[in-house]
Amino acid sequence: MDTQPQTHGLFIGGTWHRPGPTFEVSDPATGRTVAEVSDAGPGDALAALDAAAQAQPDWAGTPPRERAEILRRAFDLLVARTEEFAELATLEMGRPLAESRAEVAYAAEFLRWFAEEAVRIAGEHRTAPGGDFRIVTARRPVGPCYLITPWNFPLAMITRKVGPALAAGCTVVIKPAEATPLCALALASLLAEAGVPAGVVNVLPTLDPGPVTTALLADERLRKLSFTGSTEVGRMLLAQSAPGVLRTSMELGGNAPFLVFDDADIEAAADGALVAKMRNAGQSCVAANRFIVHRAVAADFAEALRARMAPLRLGPGSDPASQVGPLIDEAARTRIHGLVTDAADKGAKVLLGGEIPAGPGAFYPPTLLVDVPPDAALLHREIFGPVAAITVQPDEEAMVEAANATAAGLVAFAYTRDLQRAFRVGDRLEAGMVGLNRGLVSNAAAPFGGIKQSGLGREGGFEGIDEYLEVKYMAIQA
């Protein structure tokens, strides 16, 4: 792939637009500018909504089988271009190519899954209890949707929203993260090639998302907002969505506990912990954030995890030997190092890492801390980096209580060889998703989402398309 800086426009109404201002996209491994992208403003946002609103009736009326075939063609095209999209993802967000290839496969599965779901949108027909009329329900597309996606999975977080939206018959305006807009723009071209009509998908990169979002949320033609990002921003978007009574889906921050019980298979738990912590250098909302370990196995688990983290090679994602890429930017590295320093100052012991490496790029080494005190900030904030913090508890009750002591409720992990304990703890953990003896829960066929302050709604699974459908009820005289 050509890595020379190129200029990319906005995708509105099926064509590329290049208004005046642009912003730079940088490779976090080197700091080098890799592209310039048109910077959308409120006027561009309304133009994109114009296109989406005009395309909405025809797209909603397109036969489900036709929508399904378009999504299936998009799946095939994306799989065929795995290397191209993987290189693009690595270029703009830094992760190793092997992980970027895995993201492309994951992203493609949402297109295939919802291609299959498009033809299964069903209603209901039944007789009213009094026998005097029929109750008929149908499910209809919500209408134009605004999709806001994060930088950490620049392709999959889009297909996870676009797949069900298009399958349901909704048009969309996508605002990718300003750090990683290139995959979104490439996907827009791919969808158009697959047969998505002009105006159904629009993409608006912007360096200043506030005015763009305000303009869209204030327009009565917009009917839904789907957001993946921090809880703080989610709260603001919910408030902005209230005047228009918009349908909202929110996939917000996490503070995932990873419980290791005294009867756990320690080697399996350490393998699962490595996946749950180090995938994407820990830059994932479902990354394990707090390792809560029974005191009887704490030392063994810490050593097993240290032995797996220590050999991981830090380096640019384009280097096939790299296993851990850079963080998204210098600000992220500074924040994460501050959390590590705070924990160490309060008494935590650093077993591995904990120092900023010399040289270019926003790199931070795999870091492992033990004896982390309860008041350490990294136990109460989403780390979003390659830092594992171990705390010790005396029994199951204390472990579950510690796991639930957070306002977040996205995902939790637990390792035990006791089947009864697995179900008991799984039921008690306050999270929308639970990985039992498994460090990875994400799958296109499963409903992804949280409880408490980790969000509203679900993405993926049979439930994912429901977020883009409304129920219409008709009472028909018998």
Q: What is the pLDDT of residues 127-151, one digit of tens each?
A: 999 999 999 999 999 999 999 999 9
Which among 154, 103, 152, 56 has a CA at the least distance from the CA of 468?
A: 56
Q: pTM of the predicted model, to two decimals? A: 0.96
pLDDT at 260 over 90: yes
Q: Among all residues, which ones are annotated catalytic?
A: 251, 285
478: confidence class by pLDDT, cuts 50, 70, 90: confident
pLDDT tens digits, 40-51: 999 999 999 999
Alpha carbon distance 5, 259 (integer Å): 45
pLDDT tens digits, 428-464: 999 999 999 999 999 999 999 999 999 999 999 999 9
pLDDT tens digits, 268-313: 999 999 999 999 999 999 999 999 999 999 999 999 999 999 999 9
Alpha carbon distance 199, 50 (integer Å): 8
Alpha carbon distance 139, 205 (integer Å): 32
Q: What is the mean pLDDT of residues 201-221?
A: 97
Residue 198 CB contacts under 8 Å (≥ 6 apart), including other chains:
13, 14, 15, 51, 55, 192
pLDDT at 4 over 90: no
pLDDT tens digits, 84-113: 999 999 999 999 999 999 999 999 999 999
Alpha carbon distance 237, 423 (integer Å): 36
Supply the pLDDT for residue 3.
Answer: 46
